[in-house]
Amino acid sequence: MTNMLNLTLKVWRQAGPDQPGRFEEYTTTVADDASFLEMLDYVNEDLIAHDQEPIAFDHDCREGICGSCGVMIDGQAHGPQKGTATCQLHMRKFADGSHITVEPWRAAGFPLIRDLSVDRSAFDRIIESGGYISVSTGAAPEANMIPVPKDVADAAMDAAACIGCGACVAACPNSAASLFTSAKMQQLNLLPQGQAERWRRTEDMVETMEEFFGSCTNHGECQEACPKEIPIDFIAMMNRDYLKAKFANRRRGGQRKAG
C-alpha cells in the first residue's frame, strides 16, 4: 500500500570545491515506495521546473552494487537502514513529517566536487599500489589445479563484497580507510593465489592508505555504516599482516617493498 509522505529536507549545496557551502531547505511530498535517490530525483525535477539548478549527487546502478552513491542522512552514512546503500534505502523507513538532513561524505581524503558529490580517487590509488594478484593474461594455470577450501573462499568473498562507496571513511571520526583497505587486501591475502605477493602488497597498500586517510583507533563505526556489513575482523587481520610484513621482508628478497 503506497502512502504519501510530506518531508522537509536540509541539503548541502556547494557550487564547487572553492565555493562557500550552505544548507538549503526544500519541502517535498513523495510516495513511500520511492527510493531515497528517487526522492532526490523528484526534488530535482521540481527545482528544474522552478529554474533552480538541481542537486548534484553521484549514483549509477541503483542496485546497491556499483558503490557510486552515498550521502550522510541525518548524520549516518547511507542513512538509518543497516546493510543498505543509499540507493536501496526506501522512503518507507521515514515517518510522515520528517525533517531529513542530507550531506556529502566529509573527509579530507574525499575532496568535495559539488553539492553531495565527492572525489574518491584515493581508493583507486590504494588498489593501484598493490590490490591485485600479478598474473598477465594467458599465464594462468588450469582453474581447478589449486583447491581453495570452501571456508577460505567464503571468507575471501565476505571481504570481496566491498563496493568501494567510502561510507567507512565517512563514518569514521578519524576519516580512516582501514575497513576498505583491509577488505580489499584480505580477499587476496586469504587465498592461496595471493601468497606470492602477500607481504609486499600489505606494506604498499597500508602505506598508500596512510598518505590519504587518518589512522584507525578501533571505533567500529565503519562496520556499522558498511552497506555490505563487512566486519572489522579484516582490519585486525591487516594489522597482523602489516606487522609480519615489516619483519618478513628483510628475509624475503622476493617480496621486498618496491621503490
Partner 1 sequence: MALSLDSHVPDGPLADKWTNYKFDLKLVAPHNRRRFTVIVVGTGLAGASAAATLGELGYNVKVFTYHDSPRRAHSIAAQGGINAAKNYKNDGDSVYRLYYDTIKGGDFRSREANTYRLAEVSVNIIDQCVAQGVPFAREYGGRLDNRSFGGAQVARTFYARGQTGQQLLLGAYQALAHQIHAGTVQLFNRMDMLDVVVEDGQACGIIARDLLTGETSRHNAHAVVLATGGYGNVYYLSTNAKACNVTATWRAHRKGAAFANPCYTQIHPTCIPPSDEFQSKLTLMSESLRNDGRIWVPKDPADCGKDPSTIPEDARDYYLERKYPSFGNLVPRDIASRNAKSAVDSGHGVGALRNGVYLDFAESINRLGEDVVRERYGNLFDMYERITDENPYKVPMRIYPATHYTMGGLWVDYNLMSNVPGLFVCGEANFSDHGANRLGASALMQGLADGYFVLPTTIAGYLATKLGTTPPPITSKAFDDAQADVDDRVKRLLSVKGTHSVDHYHRELGKIVWEYCGMARNKAGLEQALSEIPALREQYWSDVKVLGDGESYNQSLEKALRVADFMELAELKVRDALHREESCGGHFREEHQTPEGEAKRDDENFQYVAAWEWGGPDIQRDAVLNKEPLVFEDVTPSQRSYK
User: Which of 140/243 has CB closer to partner 1?
Assistant: 140
Q: How many residues bind partner 1 (CB under 8 A)?
A: 82
Shortest Cβ 219–partner 1 spacing (Å): 26
**What is the residue-wise DSSP string for the chain?**
---EEEEEEEEEEESSTTS-EEEEEEEEEEETTSBHHHHHHHHHHHHHHTT-PPPP-----SSS-S-----EETTEET-SSTT--GGG-BGGGS-TT-EEEEE---BTTB-EEETTEE--HHHHHHHHHH-S----TT-PPPGGGS---HHHHHHHHHHHT-----HHHHH-TT-B-HHHHHHHHHHHHHSGGGGGGHHHHHHHHHHHHHHHSB------HHHHH-TT---THHHHHHHHHHHHHHHHHHH-GGGPPP-
Q: Which of residues 26-55 bind partner 1 (CB under 8 A)?
A: 30-31, 33-35, 37-38, 41-42, 45, 48-49, 51-54
Residue span binding partner 1 (CB under 8 A) among the ranges 94-102, 121-129, 175-183, 231-239: 121-129
Of 20, 22, 75, 144, the one binding partner 1 by CB under 8 A: 144
Q: Is 248 in the site for partner 1 (CB under 8 A)?
A: no
Does the protein bind partner 1 through residue 2 (CB under 8 A)?
A: yes
Nearer to partner 1, 41 or 224 (CB): 41
Can you tell me which of 181, 187, 202, 255 binds partner 1, judged by CB under 8 A?
187
